[in-house]
Amino acid sequence: MTHEILVLGAGYAGLAAAGRAARNIRRDRLDARITLVNATPRFVERVRLHQVAAGQDVGVHPLAASLDGTGIELVVGAVEELDTERRTVRVRTGCGERDLGYDTLVYALGSDAARDGVPGAAEHAHDTASLEAARALERRVREEELRTVAVVGGGFTGIEVATELAESRPGLRVELVTGGRVADGAGPRGRAHIRRALRRLRVGVHEHARVAEVDADGVLLADGSRVGARLVVWNAGFGVAGLAAAAGLTVDGRGRAVVDGSQRSVSHPDVYVVGDAAHAPGVGGRPQRMSCAMGLPMGWTAADAVSAHVAGHTPELPPYGYLFQCVSLGRRDGLVQFVRADDSPARLVLTGRLAARYKEFVVASAYSGLNGGQGQPDQYLALARWAARRFARRHGVRRTAAVTGWRGRRERASSAPDPR
């Protein structure tokens, strides 16, 4: 009987899982079929959405181009319900509701902006977590005579939004507000370069400034002071939909499904979770950070695990680690912060135009790899696994610790801190 593989979500992780599983099925001549569900008929390069917010028409591609020749069936619709007992997913399409069955499910529904934790943020703040949100932000900036924009969140996403807006609209005053320090994930050299770029672009920086409330006139800080702005852009973290928790999967405190080193749910062996929706083990003991850099190897790893399961054997799935973090600082500047496999910053950095070009190459290669680029996924995954092996040797970590040690800790996952 044909094994039905259902993939929910066609972002980086979901498309990586579907494409690699299809390749494995063809190569090994497996009796399996893949159905991919996505809310729209397009793939969005989410790492370019700060460019969309600044008015650039980039990063949107028809899914048909990526799926051509793969044998994957595309269903365009919104996922409404997951029933793990019946192994069905309810999807609302343009023609009404439809129930899709599965033998193996790959859950890759990603994340969205987490704006519910601060009063007024959901009502008054924009974000760049989706294509529609980025386009809405661009329209408002273009159509209104704004003098000041406040960008909340001093991580790399917030920095990219702030610098892109400041560079593309020199008459616009951009204020960057963060509860900690700017670019906390970078090393001293990388952080210094980002500070120089912010000064060059005249971006105001408010560090250790916790936002207590957002309103139509800007943000109110916990110390009682205000940052005035007619437009607030929220980049202070991401959240996930409650679908996995509602279906009974074991989740952490933020609703992300807890998985083992093969991306398999620790509570539902026929469900694999990849991308931002997964609470996955990292080589340093912390969960993997929400990122394209981890979404891709998560998807490829899950595809190999699912294909092996269909073939009736267990694959060898070595752990993988981080390589670098790429940050845009406008179109002509950037930072490439090289990191250890556990995501801690190393000393080596690239800056300036070279870093901007490096990031553009990485981003373009990511889409090319999903769109049939020969050898790119295997090369990236090999490098990520090499980084994990190197980290394990240097720190005395057992090679299988990421998988075997995780299951023993799964009951504590709901209280585990998030590395972001």
Residue 6 identity: L
Q: Tell me what the mean pLDDT of segment 368-380 comes to.
A: 79
| pTM score, whole prediction | 0.92
Which is more confident, 404 or 149?
149
The Cα–Cα gap between 135 and 112 comes to 15
In this structure, the chain runs to a length of 420
Quickly state the pLDDT bin for 402 (edges 50, 70, 90). Answer: very low
Hey, which bits of 39-191 come out as E strands? 42-44, 60-62, 73-83, 88-93, 96-101, 104-107, 112-113, 125-126, 148-152, 173-177
Q: What is the pLDDT of residues 48-59, one digit of tens each?
A: 999 999 999 999
Report pLDDT digits (tens) over 145-198: 899 999 999 999 999 999 999 999 999 999 999 999 999 999 999 999 999 999
Distance in angstroms (rounded) separating the CA atoms of residues 409 and 420: 20
Q: What are the backbone angles phi and psi of residue 349, rounded to the nearest 5°?
A: -140, 155
* pLDDT on residue 325: 97
Q: pLDDT tens digits for 196-222?
A: 999 999 999 999 999 999 999 999 999
Task: Give per-residue pLDDT as tens, 282-310.
Answer: 998 889 999 999 999 999 999 999 999 99
DSSP annotation string for 391-407? HHHHHT--TTHHHHHHH
Helical pair 292-311 and 12-28, crossing angle rounded to 10 deg: 30
Contacts of range 53-62, beta carbons closer than 8 Å, 24 or more positions apart = 53/128, 53/134, 53/135, 53/137, 53/138, 53/141, 53/161, 53/164, 53/165, 53/233, 54/138, 54/164, 54/165, 54/167, 54/168, 54/169, 55/138, 55/141, 55/142, 55/168, 59/131, 60/131, 61/367, 61/371
pLDDT at 372: 64
The gap between the terminal CA atoms of the chain, to the nearest Å, is: 43
Pair of tokens at residue 5? 């593989």
**Beta strand extents in 16-156 (DSSP E only):** 32-38, 42-44, 60-62, 73-83, 88-93, 96-101, 104-107, 112-113, 125-126, 148-152
Separation CA 381–CA 186 (nearest Å): 23
Rounded Cα–Cα distance for residues 175 and 332 (Å): 21
Written as six digits, the tokens of 198 are 């912010």
d(CA 233, CA 73): 37
Is the Cβ–Cβ distance between 150 and 204 less than 8 Å?
no
The b/e string for 326-347 (b: 16+ C-beta within 10 A; e otherwise) is: bbbbbbebbbbbbbbbbbebee
Identify the pLDDT of residue 398: 57
The type of residue at 329 is L
**Segments of 235-291 assigned E as strands:** 238-239, 257-258, 271-273, 278-279
What own/partner pairs with CB < 8 Å and gap ≥ 24 does 128-133 have? 128/49, 128/50, 128/52, 128/53, 128/157, 128/161, 128/233, 128/235, 129/49, 129/238, 130/44, 130/49, 131/42, 131/44, 131/49, 131/52, 131/59, 131/60, 133/49
DSSP state of 416: P
Predicted pLDDT of residue 409: 33
Q: Given a cut of 80, is residue 397 above it in pLDDT?
A: no
Predicted confidence band at 373 (pLDDT cuts at 50, 70, 90)?
low
- For position 395, what pLDDT does the model report? 87
pLDDT mean across residues, the chain: 92
Q: What is the pLDDT of residue 396?
A: 77
The predicted structure's pLDDT at residue 257: 97
Q: Quick one: pLDDT at residue 114?
A: 83
Encoded tokens for 214: 């957002």
